[in-house]
Amino acid sequence: MPPVATTPETPGPGLNATDFASAVSAITSAFGDPTRREIYLFVHAQPDGVTASEVAERFELHANVARHHLDKLTAGGYLETTMARPSGAGRPSKRYRVVHDAMPFEVPVRHDDVIISLLGKALAALGTERATRLAEEVGLEYGRAMAAAMGDTAAGQRSVRSALHAVADALSAHGFAAHAEKDGDQYRIVSEHCPFGDAVIEHPVICAVDRGMVEGMLGALYGETPVALASSKPMGDDRCVTDVADLAEG
């Protein structure tokens, strides 16, 4: 889950202005575009949120490009969307705002590996079957929450392709460096990096968390869809591949 954090005006305990800016850069650089850093800080400074048009005007971008950046930040759980009714005639507009008043992250904590190792040992103590079920349930709940943050509240709002790419984008924002692909009739989510590190090799049950995240997001965005882990670090592979059940092209 996103750690606690701070506002640009008051970075908070242990975070000076330089560390704060570095933290923002570290998070957004994972999205592949430094412009997103400035967009996030701009949104964070607007209590009532912003529209894609306002971002496009502020940064001199095409509206579709601005919306792309905002949707990436939303997929990562950093922004949420609401529909605002206009004061006069016209259609409701989608507004993007930060999920929390405080920043949704802090400077990376060096003890993450200790926490993950502790998690793995705790899960292992429950026994494989029970631990796997628990880890997957946590992933499912978090995946549904991630989908809700994207502004999609009912299954079936997205096509197969759109849902899979949204899932991959959200996973990438959480450190998985994921992408969606199709091999023949088989859809899959491929993760080139595991944010849990080598802990998954010693405690493979942790993999059930991200499998649950994929299933939870797909269930919310497209519809109930079984998934299965086809390859992973614990299996001796360099990357993780989650196969998605046969889907009708939408």
What number is the average pLDDT over the span 22-35?
55
DSSP structure class, residue 106: -
What is the chain's mean pLDDT, rounded? 76
Whether 193 has a pLDDT exceeding 60, the answer reads yes
What's residue 101's pLDDT?
A: 61
Instruction: Give the model's pLDDT for residue 23.
Output: 52
User: What span, in angstroms and rounded, lies between the C-alpha atoms of 104 and 73?
Assistant: 11
Task: Tell me the three state secondary structure of residue 94.
Answer: strand
Q: In this predicted model, what pLDDT tens digit does every residue of 129-185 receive, in sequence order?
A: 888 888 899 899 989 888 887 775 555 667 888 888 888 888 887 878 888 888 887
Closest by CA to 28, choosing from 39, 18, 19, 17, is: 39
Predicted confidence at residue 172, as pLDDT, reads 82
pLDDT of residue 121: 77
When pLDDT is cut at 50, 70 and 90, the band that residue 6 belongs to is very low
Q: Minimal CA–CA distance to 67: which of 45, 96, 34, 92? A: 96
Closest CA to 247 of 233, 226, 217: 226
Per-residue CA distances from 96 to 199, 209, 239 (Å): 36, 28, 33
Length of the chain: 250
pLDDT attached to residue 154: 55
Under 8 Å between Cβ of 102 and 184 = no
User: Which domains does the chain possess?
Assistant: 17-98 (1.10.10.10), 112-244 (3.30.1380.20)
- Above 80 in pLDDT, residue 94? yes
Neighbours of 5 (CB within 10 A): 18
- Cβ neighbours, 10 Å, residue 3: 13
**57-87: pLDDT as tens digits:** 998 889 888 988 888 888 877 888 888 766 5
